[in-house]
Amino acid sequence: MTRRAVGQSALQLSYRTIPFVLFFGVWQGISAAHLVNADFLPSPVAIGAALIKLFQANEIFTNLGTTVLTCFAGLGLGAAIGIPLGAAMAISPRINGFFDPLIKATYSLPKTALVPLLMLWFGIGGITNIIVVVLAALLPLVVYTYHGVHNVPRVQVWSALAMGTPRRRLIWRILLPAAQQEIMTGLRIALGFSFVIGISAEMIASNRGIGKLMFIYGENGSYDYMFAATITLLVVAFAADRGLVHLSNYYLRWQDTAQHHE
């Protein structure tokens, strides 16, 4: 990498860091001027001190591991079910006719509303939380995969058939590769849903996890620790999203029409 490229990367990183510096600077100034009650809105310095204590007590690592495992396990299972189902719905009118009403009926249903029912079936935490995340991740993956496969230009299919591609292999050789951009977009949306629903489920039906940690500290009035856990979660979720975006851009680099996200 040349010096010019390094300088541009550093400048771009600095430019993206400025909003965060200004935000926390204003927040610290408001706290220092006692414009708000510090008991309800701790200063960034107080939150940083609480975060250090949480790391020293190993509370962050233990609970964060549970949350990350729940979210990614649910996301992985949702992708394993949702992508094939979306592709099958796009290919088969019968499968689409069977599942489409169910998808439309449950798309706007708050998934956390199912937590009390799932608790009765599967108990507190663990499987219950993973199932809720699966349901949250499943729908965007089904919808985006369906539209990605359904919108593949017919000329690509006809050309593949004319060149000797068997019909049973069209899905793997033509349709899914052509729909990769839409599938990756659905996966990114599902990732966000996984963290939101996973944390909500932990607050309701779990003994461990960052969501439970946030709930306990908030209920006890320890808002500096609650904000510390929240910021940790935001950093991890942001890193996961950036990682998925870079993976998507690398994986789709061969597509001339790929729209790389920033």
Q: Each residue of 43-70: pLDDT tens digit?
A: 888 888 888 888 888 888 888 888 999 8
Q: Which amino acid is at 236?
A: V
Average pLDDT over the chain reads 80
Res 10 pLDDT > 60 = no
Tens of pLDDT, residue by residue over 20-34, are 778 777 877 877 777
Q: What is the Cα–Cα distance from 89 to 98, expressed in whole angstroms?
A: 9
In this prediction the pTM is 0.79
Please tell me the distance from the alpha carbon of residue 38 to that of residue 109, in angstroms, as a whole number: 37
pLDDT given for residue 76 in this prediction: 93
Mean pLDDT across the stretch 155-162?
63
Q: Is the pLDDT of residue 262 over 80?
A: no
- Judge whether residue 1 has pLDDT over 80: no
Contact between 98 and 160 under an 8 Å Cβ cutoff? The reply is no
Read off the pLDDT band of 190 (50, 70, 90).
very high
51 within 8 A of 231, measured Cβ to Cβ = yes
- From CA 133, how far away is CA 130, in angstroms rounded? 5
Q: What is the mean pLDDT of residues 147-173?
A: 68
What is the structure's pLDDT at 5? 52
Does position 160 have pLDDT exceeding 70, yes or no? Answer: no
Lookup: tokens for 242: 């950036």
Looking at residue 75, its pLDDT comes to 93
Report the topology of domain 43-251: MetI-like fold (1.10.3720)
pLDDT digits (tens, 9 = 90+) for 96-150: 889 888 888 777 777 777 777 777 787 776 788 888 889 889 889 999 998 888 8
For residues 261 and 174, give the distance between their C-alpha atoms in angstroms, rounded to a whole number. 24
In this predicted structure, what is the pLDDT of residue 82? 92
Q: What is the pLDDT of residue 141?
A: 93
Tokens of 142: 């089904």
Region(s) of the chain under CATH 1.10.3720.10? 43-251
